[in-house]
Amino acid sequence: MSNACFLSEKVHVQITNQLENGEDLTLHCNSGDNDLGEHFLHKDENYKFSFCTNVFDKTLYYCSFAWSGQVRWFDVYAGVRYNCLNCNWRITHSGPCLEPDTPDAQETCYQYRNKS
């Protein structure tokens, strides 16, 4: 069985718990087709998954993040929005931060979204 994607690109997502107070993080990621289940991360631990984008790059993966009684949501991959094949996210209290693919680029932080 091949690890390659047919007519699309393979995306790798890594989510790292960087909550400032050393809190544990529970995350649950989904796409329209896949429920990746719930995962529990201690400080600085990460969760990784990979997928093939669809042909028109309309792939969407969204996650809930829970800590200390709070729940937040964010789209960790939304087509070409973040322009990454290696999407390395740091989860902080104020929002998720996407680490750059290249050394000369800067990290970009976002706000969590309201659940819709």
Q: What is the pLDDT of residues 32-46, one digit of tens each?
A: 889 999 999 999 999
Domain-embedded: residue 1: no
Domain-embedded: residue 116: no
The C-alpha R_g of the chain, in whole angstroms, comes to 14
Domain-embedded: residue 2: no
Q: Give the domain range for residue 63.
A: 10-109
pTM (predicted TM-score): 0.90
For residue 42, the domain's CATH number is: 2.60.40.10
How many separate domains does the chain show? Answer: 1
* Amino acid, single-letter form, for residue 90: R
CA 91/CA 96 separation, integer angstroms: 5
pLDDT digits (tens, 9 = 90+) for 62-80: 999 999 999 999 999 998 7
